[in-house]
Amino acid sequence: MIDALWGWPPPVLDPAGPYADKVTTLAWALFGMGVVVTAIVCAALWLAVRGSPRMKALIGGERTIWIGGIAFPGVVLLGLLVWGLTLTASLTQPIRGDEMRIRITGEMWWFRVQYLNADGDIVMEDANELHLPVGVPVVLELEGADVIHSFWVPHLSGKKDMIPGRRTLLRVQADRPGEFGGLCAEYCGSQHALMGFVAIAHKESDWQTWFDDRTTRVARTEMLAETAPPDAMPYPGDAAAYPMELGTLERYDARRGMRLFMESGCAACHRIAGTEANGLAGPDLTHVGSRRSLGAGILPNNRGTMMGWIGDSQSIKPGNRMPSYDVLSAEDIGHIAAFLELQK
Amino acid sequence: MTSSSLMAGLRDHPNEIDRMGRFAAMKRVGVASAIVLGLLSACKNPIGSRYEPDDAAQERGLLAINEAGCAACHEIPGVAWPKGRLGPSLDGFDDVGMIAGQLPNRPDLLAVFIRNAPSVKRHTTMPAMPVTQSEAADIAAYLYGLDDD
Ligand SMILES: [Cu+2]
């Protein structure tokens, strides 16, 4: 969640991969240079006020302007620029072909996430969360859907703008497992501050298991949708079709939740793979039950926050593009939440 | 209605006058009992300070509140954001009468309610929340410590 961004050390000084490492190196170098220049200026100031007349004459001439005011900053800034650009060039290298590709689109005010295969076809849809294997370079193809956003997971890489009508590239790589917070770094409207992101780095084998679990689950839902008679249509995550614990005290009915989801307009804005819900205006909910957060990285994901979000998202994130469903009864909201929780 | 028309109305309904008289008598009893209660309250503190939660517990409570996301449905003092309105505001909870308008106002019951509301109040909208028993006690301490006066 976003709050993974707080605490000590600040994530910009705590790189978790080679690309972020470069950004941190650059930051320290610039900071060090700043300290040196400040020290020189302070020393010159002190000499100008307290120094001997000979010293004052020495630093008071035109030569000082040429050397200290033009030559020195010119050389230093040019040097830093060239060095900085070469150091960080690898962050935006074009696609070589052997990397993992993930497309992330900034929307007001959340992130669409699409996992691509080597040919650039979408193999899995998700939102507000990026799962990546440790030690593997990942190329993020960044786009903006409406206005300019900026993608930033400081533990993993630098910032990169997400521009409508253009595709920008950003390389990330995690060298240790963990959860890394991110956020939109370009003002994009009223809820910009609540547009967060979570990147989760798994050990490589864990990542593969995670990916396979999700794809088989979706394939099974699709197959069941085709073969089951309509009235016996099991919903994705049906406790009978999939051995998943429902919780012993469950008072809400996920099957009713699914019907309510399809009939209350949710399906027009949200997609759940393998069902008739195929809306594109909001985040993909195929895997919402296993997300770390709700509302774009801002809330933990549990029964309570799920009900709270559905029932009154406008008081949580005022102005967001999803209406508050206070026209539904609390029972109905509970049913829907129970259904969505099963969408792992 | 002016007072003279009220009196005129009452004259037509003698029973009403009788009731008014009884009301006045009840009010006298009320005043007397208020005095007695006032004297008694010297022994029993008002709710706000009846429980004296310690600071460490309150601090842990606020952390647990943030981690569980209670503010998705409640406005909670000390939580800048979010300020959900699906559930009641918990502002000034030290002065609340009954928990969720139904349960005796006791720290142990509040902790149970926070953890698994439907187990103590059937059909309540507030769902069971993923907090441990000790976190729930800390949250209760935090809520009782919300002294807004
Ligand atoms: Cu933004």
Tell me whether residues B86 and A312 touch, CB distance under 8 A.
yes
- State the pLDDT at residue A143: 96
**Choosing among A6, A192, A251, A302, which should be mutated to test the B contact, i.e. which has the most B CBs within 10 A?**
A302
Q: What is the distance in A from the centroid of ligand 1 to the CA of A3?
A: 17
Q: What pLDDT does residue A248 have?
A: 38
Q: List phi, psi (to 5°) of A172.
A: -135, 155
Q: Is residue A6 part of a domain?
A: no
**Which of A300, A308, A317 lies closest to B73 in CB terms?**
A308
The pLDDT of residue B34:
47
User: Do A66 and A105 share a structural domain?
Assistant: no
Among A29, A64, A91, identify where a domain stops: A91
Interface contact A304-B127, CB threshold 8 A: yes
CA distance A319 to A315: 9
Q: Tell me, what's the pLDDT at B26?
A: 45
Q: Which residues of A touch B84 (CB under 8 A)?
A: 308, 312, 315-316
What's the pLDDT at A249?
Answer: 55
Q: By the 8 A CB rule, do A189 and A160 touch? A: no
Domain assignment present for residue A217? The answer is: no
For residue B34, the domain's CATH number is: 1.10.760
Q: Which residues of chain A does B135 touch, with a Cβ-Cβ cutoff of 8 Å?
A: none
Based on C-alpha coordinates, what's the Rg of chain A? 26
Within this chain, do residues A50 and A112 fall inside the same structural domain, yes or no?
Answer: no
CATH number for position A234 = 2.60.40.420
Residue A116 lies in a domain: yes
**Mutation for testing the A interface, residue in B62, B73, B135 having most A CBs under 10 Å:** B73
Question: Are B72 and A299 within 8 A, CB to CB?
Answer: yes
- The residue range of the domain holding A253 is 229-239+247-341
Task: Answer with the one of A91, A108, A134 that is the final residue of a domain.
Answer: A91
Q: Which residue from A minimizes the CA distance to B64?
A: A300
ipTM: 0.80
Alpha-carbon Rg for chain B in angstroms: 22
How many domains is chain A built from? Answer: 3
Q: Which residues contact A180 (CB under 8 A, 6 or more apart)?
A: A4, A11, A16, A153, A154, A155, A156, A174, A198, A199, A200, A201
**Which residues in chain A are closer than 8 Å to B118, comparing Cβ atoms?**
249, 251
In the listed set A66, A91, A116, which residue is the last one of a domain according to the structure? Answer: A91
What pLDDT score was predicted for residue A228?
A: 58
Domain extent, residue B102, equals 3-145
pLDDT, one tens digit per residue, over A86-97 is 988 888 777 787
Q: Which long-range contacts (CB under 8 A, 24 or more apart) does A330-333 make?
A: A330/B125, A331/A252, A332/A260, A332/A264, A333/A307
CA distance A295 to chain B (A): 10
Verify that A267 and A337 share a domain, yes or no: yes
Q: Specify the pLDDT at position B10.
A: 40
Let me know if residue A210 belongs to a domain.
no
pLDDT tens per residue, range B80-128: 889 999 999 998 887 788 889 888 888 888 998 998 888 888 888 999 8
Query: Count of domains in chain B?
Result: 1
The per-residue pLDDT for A55 is 84
- Å between B49 CA and nearest CA of chain A: 30
Residue B12: is its pLDDT beyond 60? Answer: no
Contacts of A305 in chain B (CB under 8 A): 69, 72
CA of A110 relative to ligand 1 center, distance in Å: 9
Distance A147 CA to ligand 1 centre (A): 9
> Same domain, yes or no, for A115 and A196?
yes
The per-residue pLDDT for A311 is 95
What whole-number distance in Å separates Cα of residue A296 and Cα of residue A195?
6
**Do A106 and A84 belong together in one domain?**
no
Residue B72 with chain A: CB contacts under 8 Å: 299, 304-305, 308-309, 316
Same domain (yes/no): A85, A104: no
- Stretches where chain A sits below pLDDT 70 are 1-4, 227-249
pLDDT, one tens digit per residue, over B23-77 is: 444 444 444 444 444 444 444 455 545 567 788 899 999 999 999 999 999 999 9
Q: Is residue A216 part of a domain?
A: no
Phi, psi for residue B17 in degrees, rounded to 5: -60, -40
pLDDT of residue A240: 40
